[in-house]
Amino acid sequence: MVDLKDLRRISDHEWEIPTSVRADMRVPVRVFASRALLEAIGGESSLEQAVNAATLPGVVGRVLVMPDVHQGYGFPIGGVAATELPHGLISPGAIGYDINCGVRLLASNVRFADVEGAIGDLASALDAACPSGVGTGGRLKLDDRELERVCREGGEWARRRGYGTESDVARTEGGGVLAGADFAKVGRRARDRGRTQVGTLGAGNHFIEVEVVDEVFDVDAARAMGLEEGFLTVLIHCGSRGFGHQVCTDYVKSFQGAVERYHIRLPDRELVCAPNDSPEGQDYLAAMRCAANYAFANRQVLAHHARGAFTEALRGRTREPHLHQVYDIAHNMGKTEEHAFDGVRRRVCVHRKGATRAFGPGFPDLPPEYRAIGQPVLVPGSMGTASWVLAGTEGSSERSLASCCHGAGRTMSRSRAKRTIHGGALRKELEERGIRVRAGSMPGLAEEAPAAYKDVDAVVDAVVAAGIARKVARLRPVAVVKG
Amino acid sequence: MQARQGHRELGHTADWALEVWAPDLATLLAEAAIGMYRLMGVVRADGPRQRRRLELEGADRESLLVEFLAELLYLAESEGLAFDVLELVAAEGRLEARLEGAPIGSQTKEIKAVTYHKLEVRDTDQGLETCIVFDV
């Protein structure tokens, strides 16, 4: 366990674990958190996991820890690490099993006050339109040829099939596609699991929420994103489903041998890795990109279903309802990016697990309407609490490898949440607060209770104070749909 | 006095951890499978009994354990099957499993993956014990 006394204070919201803390650390760890959040983080093993990540061969700069961090497996959730190219390591466990788990935000032209009485119907329509729950398949059944197209084209595949617009694809991280995907590197089991799951939400912490824009903090940025106080939005959180889980499972297995072949010593087997430019590393990257593109397509199809549900539930109660995409970001991903290290720009492989990209104004990957304001950063809160729309800052590349928090972050174990919180009572409490709930499993609902998470407002205040993002708007939930 | 074989759920902030103990490796693997199905809230339907044979290899005991449970997760999702009769023979990095079970009637939780996080199969006076962290 890392002792908080070993941390060096950089500012009120930045703390450093120096390499002197453990002999095998190659780089320091930088933690973005208020003192109160830091003390909460210090009570579990996430900082030790960040120190483990700092031992990976080829890691450069610093390992970064976001204020929503919590312990994961191998690499902490809320951790970011860059490795040098071409020889530095790529680690499947440092990206996670749910490859390109991420968040998509759609904003509407519908004023909450005009449809307040219809929110229950809207929740039911979303629940019916978006297949959710354990092992639930969708309406699409894809053969290998079509699945390969999904893996190569990502969001664009869905658009061509009629599930989205050019604007949706342009307003998706990286245009909704990672280059370099090679379907031949995806095993049979992953293909089997992926065939029926495009356009499905899954279970666990994945959800669709209807939210109201509660307060705008940056008028220019909110205008560019089409966010206006009092209007409804839809937030979709999910990833690459069984397809991505199996891709990661397969490569964590095959990398067990790679570690021996490349003489890599690891503090935890879940951190198994191989050099980026090794055959093993290249194969994993090609398969990981397939899963990332699968997830972009998945969220695009779900967005299409959400639009259908909006129209169905609200038609006749308001003017023709319309949902436009604000942005879609990944929070479990490995990407080739360029960042400055001690003033020198280098191409690196950035592992983000439970952390999002957050590029500042001028970043060329952004659609033209966002270039002046910076990349939208979507931070869903825990169920029933606020979610945030932020934007990347000028200094984010240097300060945090252009990375930001991805949510509130758990503080309570699932088993304790299940023991201490009753799903039915929680649902009643949320309904009494005006939040409509459609959930497939009451124990599942209890595990995701707000009490099991940190305060998302405190997390957002910490990243804003640390200068890695700025506030654009706060969203307030009025309906939650879960598997 | 603790039973010779069993399992229990341990606290883990984000994911699930399962402690398993048994007199030998084959029993440990079977017990881990039962514990995993329990975490998933699997209820088997009355449908026709199904049999499967698996042959798996792993460099060590930990790899065999992860391989076996990952295979059961795959069969649960791709074929909708869960097994309640598990006859296992494990020796020298090899596992032969004769499985009998039924279609899954209902399931409350999704397990994304079986991880290697701090995974170690330890020898004890009574046999073996381990702690498995699942990504959920």
Pair of tokens at residue A402: 């252009």
Q: Is the pLDDT of residue B15 over 80?
A: no
Q: Is the pLDDT of residue B1 over 70?
A: no
- Report which residue type is found at A435: I
Distance CA A459, CA A464 (A): 9
pLDDT at B131: 96
Question: What Å distances lie between residue B67 and A249, A411, B57, B89, CA to CA?
Answer: 9, 30, 8, 14
pLDDT at A383: 86
Lowest mean pLDDT among A188-192, A254-258, A330-334, A445-449: A445-449
Higher pLDDT, residue A263 or A440: A263
pLDDT at A164: 97
Pair of tokens at residue B131: 């702690």
Position B34 in a domain: yes
B31 in contact with A at a CB cutoff of 8 Å? no
Mean pLDDT for A226-252 is: 97
Q: Is the pLDDT of residue A235 over 80?
A: yes
Q: Is the pLDDT of residue B12 over 90?
A: no
**Helix axis angle, A119-129 to A279-314, nearest 10°:** 140
pLDDT at B14: 66
Domains, in order of start, for chain A? 4-411+453-482 (3.90.1860.10)
Share of chain A above pLDDT 70, in %: 100
Instruction: Tell me the three state secondary structure of residue A448.
Output: coil
Residue of A nearest to B107 (CA): A134
Distance CA A240, CA A100 (A): 6
Position B82 in a domain: yes
Q: Is the pLDDT of residue A378 over 90?
A: yes
Q: A289 Cβ partners below 8 Å, 6+ apart?
A: A151, A178, A179, A180, A181, A182
Q: Is the pLDDT of residue A1 over 90?
A: no
* Cβ–Cβ under 8 Å, residues A246 and A190: yes
Position B90 in a domain: yes
pLDDT at A361: 97
Residue of A nearest to B63 (CA): A253
* Cβ–Cβ under 8 Å, residues A338 and A348: yes
Q: Give the distance from residue B44's alpha carbon to the nearest chain A alpha carbon, in angstroms.
A: 14
Distance CA A317, CA A301 (A): 25
**How would residue A254 be classed by pLDDT, with cut points 50, 70 and 90?**
very high
Q: How many CB atoms lie within 10 A of CB A318?
A: 15
Q: Give the distance from residue B68's alpha carbon to the nearest chain A alpha carbon, in angstroms.
A: 12
pLDDT at B113: 95
On average, the pLDDT of chain A sits at 95
Distance CA B133, CA A290 (A): 26
Q: Is the pLDDT of residue A389 over 70?
A: yes
Question: What single-letter DSSP state applies at residue A172?
Answer: B
Residues of B in contact with A70 (CB under 8 A): 13-14
pLDDT at B109: 87
A444 in contact with B at a CB cutoff of 8 Å? yes
Question: What Å distances lie between residue A304 and A227, A239, A368, CA to CA?
Answer: 19, 16, 24
Beta-bridge partners for A336: A349
pLDDT tens for each residue of A108-121: 999 999 999 999 99
| Domain coverage including residue B115 | 6-135
Mean pLDDT for A351-366 is: 96
Mean pLDDT for B31-52 is: 94
Mean pLDDT for B99-117 is: 93
Question: What Å distances lie between residue B96 and A205, A318, B29, B34, B129, CA to CA?
Answer: 35, 62, 11, 17, 20
Total domains in chain B come to: 1
* Cβ–Cβ under 8 Å, residues A387 and A379: yes
Q: Is the pLDDT of residue B123 over 90?
A: yes
Position B1 in a domain: no
pLDDT at A218: 98
Task: List residues of A with catalytic annotation.
Answer: 406
Candidates A73, A192, A416; nearest CB to B133: A73
Q: Give the distance from residue B128's alpha carbon to the nearest chain A alpha carbon, in angstroms.
A: 20
pLDDT tens for each residue of A467-481: 999 999 999 999 999
Q: Tokens 């009355």 label which residue?
A: B46
Give the global pTM. 0.96
Mean pLDDT for A264-278 is: 94
Q: Is the pLDDT of residue A313 over 90?
A: yes
Mean pLDDT for A183-190 is: 98
Mean pLDDT for A250-270 is: 93
Task: Identify the H or E element spanning B87.
Answer: strand B81-91
A248 in contact with B at a CB cutoff of 8 Å? yes
Residues of B in contact with A415 (CB under 8 A): 9-12, 16
A176 in contact with B at a CB cutoff of 8 Å? no
What CATH number is given to the structural domain containing B57?
A: 3.55.10.10
B115 in contact with A at a CB cutoff of 8 Å? yes
Inter-chain touch A416–B11, beta carbons under 8 Å: yes
Distance CA A104, CA A106 (A): 7
**How would residue B57 be classed by pLDDT, with cut points 50, 70 and 90?**
very high
Mean pLDDT for B66-84 is: 96
Mean pLDDT for B12-37 is: 92
Question: What Å distances lie between residue A378 and A75, A408, A473, CA to CA?
Answer: 22, 11, 10
pLDDT at A139: 86
Query: Cis link prior to A86 (omega < 30° from 0)?
Result: yes
- Report which residue type is found at A36: A
**How would residue A206 be classed by pLDDT, with cut points 50, 70 and 90?**
very high
Mean pLDDT for B47-58 is: 94
Position B21 in a domain: yes
Mean pLDDT for B1-14 is: 80
Pair of tokens at residue A82: 């860059």
Lowest mean pLDDT among A34-48, A281-295, A349-363, B19-33: A34-48
Task: Identify the H or E element spanning B85.
Answer: strand B81-91
Mean pLDDT for A426-445 is: 90
B72-75 LR contacts (CB < 8 Å, sep 24+): B72/B33, B72/B36, B72/B37, B73/B36, B73/B111, B73/B113, B73/B114, B74/A189, B74/A192, B74/A193, B74/A246
A65 in contact with B at a CB cutoff of 8 Å? no
